[in-house]
Amino acid sequence: MAAPLLTLRDIRLTFGGPPLLDGAELAVHEGDRICLVGRNGSGKSTLLKVAADLLASDGGERVVQGGVTIRYLPQEPDLSAFATTLAYVEAGLGPGDDTHRCLRLLEDLGLTGEENPKTLSGGEIRRAALARVLAPEPDVLLLDEPTNHLDLPAIEWLEAELKSMRSAQVLISHDRRFLQNLSRITVWLDRGRTRRVDRGFGGFEAWRDELLELEEKERHKLERKIAMEMDWLRYGVTARRKRNQRRLGELGALREKRRTDRGAQGTVRMTLTEAEQSGKLVIEAVGVSKAWDRPIVTDFSARIARGDRIGVVGANGTGKSTLLGLLTGQLAPDSGRVSIGAGVEMVTLDQKREALDPERTLRETLTGGSGDAVEVGGEMRHVIGYMKDFLFSADQAGTPVAVLSGGERGRLMLARALARSSNLMVLDEPTNDLDLETLDLLEEMLGDYPGTVIVVSHDRDFLDRVVTSVVMSEPGGRWVEYAGGYSDMVSQRGAGVAARVVEKADAPARIAKAPAEASTEPAKKRRLSFKEKHALETLPARIEALQKDLARHHAALADSGLYARDPARFAAVSKACDETATALATAEDEWLALEMLREELED
């Protein structure tokens, strides 16, 4: 095997207390797609900064092959020193890199290059930062939470872009589907050390559980051996004799090993506080419409029953949070009505964690500012014990919310929300910044929750595991409900979430910046839009699915006795057959037109 492009050996780093990195290692070869996984606070981002040469370790070795280029995407990019997003992206290029690729990536990500970084949202900052690290097509890409603040169209575009690149990649993400689709190697950072398995994230969790089970067996053996040696010390041949000093030393070494063994990290324990059962009808919306600068919700009607689990999906800017506000009564509709059923007790988790007072401490946030107890599940619990359920230490009780990390704020919001009595949970991007183990427990908790759940999320795996139906945004402010999870919606609809089409009235002018010596060149050549490229990629699968459906309908109608046995089924199958044939013809025509356009543009 060729030498690694980038190697970290025996990396050690301590910020006070137990070592954060204690012999961590990483080897990145040409073409590798590595996912770096571990609990929040385990040191993943720190290790990536060491790999990017942005942080010096206390010990160990970092080796980079001569001439290898490395680009690093931080969790919080800083664009403050640049006048425009294009200037920021171009500043990341090296000698000989293609400047035109910068603008192409920005346009694919929904930006023009003219944006002032001071006015950008979190999602737009992330898109500009992605364009900056992808534009040079480096030998090694180090990406820390690249999907943070991205909507589903951008996440799926990023997956396709990374798959097409030759760069070796090291990815940190809490998006399971993203990791499953991209990774080929998994590196697990646990208690300061790394363990590597040459398989993608899809096989990681079973492998990790096997290792933890084996570790627990070894710990049990160690405890038994210590007990046996202690028994010998107390009741066996006197330990003071010279010939027994070796055995005494071994006992001391065993006890030291047990003392210094950090053990596996704890897990979050979630307990729901259930309210009295709500009525059968939880929310009813009839002909609801809402517009700001454009139609956001148009003539939307829905009946949400007790026990339903509704997922709301759409590109950024389509109005998911507005729809949530209308359904929960926080926003008044321009027309139509929303009725909330009897006995509904609602708890909400907002996307930006704005409900948290940054000046309050953890203790005050959970107790409401009085006492040391919090009511959970009808019982009073000491706040320190409840904090520990969510992986906070007793020392953090007096810590202000302002200094907490994103993951810690997410856990605090969950801790506070779950302590409240409810039979309706409204969750706006609940998975942001949560580690995979906490996500597992949140999914299990929601699965056992007897009430109703409405959740906005861009996490496809989370939606597939949790929701029973998906409400999807369509052009013109329309919202359509599909049965099942996100994958079921894609199967029924024939495509996933597309990027929002920006109307001309609110679209910024496209820039036509080019080098001075090229100013006399003709206008820039037309390219396929993101939506057209997405349709070209997804239509073949939809056509294949429709062909299978049509064959199934034809097979059913081939039964000569069907009409005599079941006239109603014969009529239903005939209607479905006609509709499928029409949909197939439309899809084939659309694909053919797009394919001809693609060939014309390439020629």
Q: Please state the three-class secondary structure of 383-446 as a single string.
A: HHHHHHHCCCCHHHHHCEHHHCCHHHHHHHHHHHHHHCEECEEEEECCCCCCCHHHHHHHHHHH
Q: Which residues partner with 338 through β-bridges?
A: 285
- Looking at the domain 6-69+138-206, which fold is it? Rossmann fold (3.40.50)
Cα→Cα distances 345→302, 306, 421, Å: 19, 12, 7
In angstroms, rounded to a whole number, what is the distance separating the alpha carbons of residues 365 and 443?
24
Torsion sign (Cα): 193, 46, 184, 457: positive
Please calculate the CA angle 515-516-517 and round it to the nearest 5 degrees: 95
Please calculate the CA angle 470-475-479 and round it to the nearest 5 degrees: 30
Torsion sign (Cα): 314, 319, 323, 324: positive
In angstroms, rounded to a whole number, what is the distance separating the alpha carbons of residues 129 and 190?
29
Q: What is the mean pLDDT of residues 295-311?
A: 92
Q: What are phi and psi of 164, to 5 degrees?
A: -80, -15
* Pair 77, 38: CB distance under 8 Å: no
* Pair 426, 349: CB distance under 8 Å: yes
Across 26-35, 142-151, 213-222, which has the greatest mean pLDDT? 26-35
pTM over 0.85: no
- How many other CB atoms are there within 10 angstroms of residue 388's CB atom? 16
Q: β-pairing, 21-28 with 281-291?
A: unpaired
- R_g (Cα) of the chain, nearest Å: 28
In the structure, what pLDDT confidence band is assigned to residue 108 with cuts at 50, 70 and 90? Answer: very high
What pLDDT does residue 522 have?
Answer: 42
DSSP 540: H
By CB atoms closer than 10 A (0-12, 13-18, 19+), residue 440 is: middle
Would you list the domain boundaries of the chain?
A: 6-69+138-206, 273-358+401-493, 525-602
Outline where 261-420 has alpha helix (H): 320-327, 362-367, 383-389, 406-419
In the structure, what pLDDT confidence band is assigned to residue 39 with cuts at 50, 70 and 90? Answer: confident
pLDDT at 506 exceeding the cut of 50: no
In the structure, what pLDDT confidence band is assigned to residue 321 with cuts at 50, 70 and 90? Answer: confident
* Pair 288, 334: CB distance under 8 Å: no
DSSP 351: T
* Pair 44, 37: CB distance under 8 Å: yes
In the structure, what pLDDT confidence band is assigned to residue 443 with cuts at 50, 70 and 90? Answer: confident
- How many other CB atoms are there within 10 angstroms of residue 568's CB atom? 7
Read off the amino acid at residue 185: I
Domain pair 273-358+401-493 / 525-602, same fold: no
CATH class of 525-602: mainly alpha
Q: Which of 60-64, 143-147, 228-232 has the lowest mean pLDDT?
A: 228-232
In angstroms, rounded to a whole number, what is the distance separating the alpha carbons of residues 569 and 54?
67
In angstroms, rounded to a whole number, what is the distance separating the alpha carbons of residues 347 and 453?
10
pLDDT at 513 exceeding the cut of 50: no
What pLDDT does residue 195 have?
Answer: 92
In the structure, what pLDDT confidence band is assigned to residue 247 with cuts at 50, 70 and 90? Answer: low
* Tokens encoding 76: 């919080």
What pLDDT does residue 272 have?
Answer: 53
What pLDDT does residue 268 have?
Answer: 52
pLDDT at 243 exceeding the cut of 70: no
Give the residue carrying structure tokens 């795996």.
Answer: 461
In angstroms, rounded to a whole number, what is the distance separating the alpha carbons of residues 528 and 511?
17
Could you tell me what percentage of the chain is helix, strand and coil, using 3-state DSSP and rounding each to the nearest 5?
Answer: 45, 20, 35
pLDDT at 566 exceeding the cut of 50: yes
Task: For residue range 89-106, list pLDDT tens digits in order.
Answer: 999 998 888 889 999 999
Cα→Cα distances 7→49, 52, 60, 61, 74, Å: 13, 11, 11, 8, 20
pLDDT at 502 exceeding the cut of 70: no
Average pLDDT for the chain: 81
Cα→Cα distances 76→159, 310, 345, 430, Å: 20, 31, 37, 20
pLDDT at 53 exceeding the cut of 70: yes
Contacts of 480 (CB under 8 A, 6+ apart): 471, 472, 474
Give the residue carrying structure tokens 């810590």.
Answer: 399
Cα→Cα distances 85→136, 143, 317, 518, Å: 16, 19, 20, 21
Q: Does domain 273-358+401-493 have CATH number 3.40.50.740?
A: no
Using DSSP, state whether 11 is helix, strand or coil. strand
Across 180-194, 350-364, 371-385, 572-586, which has the greatest mean pLDDT? 180-194
What pLDDT does residue 142 have?
Answer: 97
* Pair 408, 389: CB distance under 8 Å: no
The count of C-alpha atoms lying within 13 angstroms of the C-alpha of 280, restricted to the half-sphere facing its C-beta, is 0
Q: What is the mean pLDDT of residues 410-439?
A: 80
* Tokens encoding 406: 């994103």
Contacts of 322 (CB under 8 A, 6+ apart): 290, 292, 296, 297, 331
Cα→Cα distances 465→62, 267, 311, 459, 470, Å: 40, 20, 11, 10, 12
In the structure, what pLDDT confidence band is assigned to residue 341 with cuts at 50, 70 and 90? Answer: confident
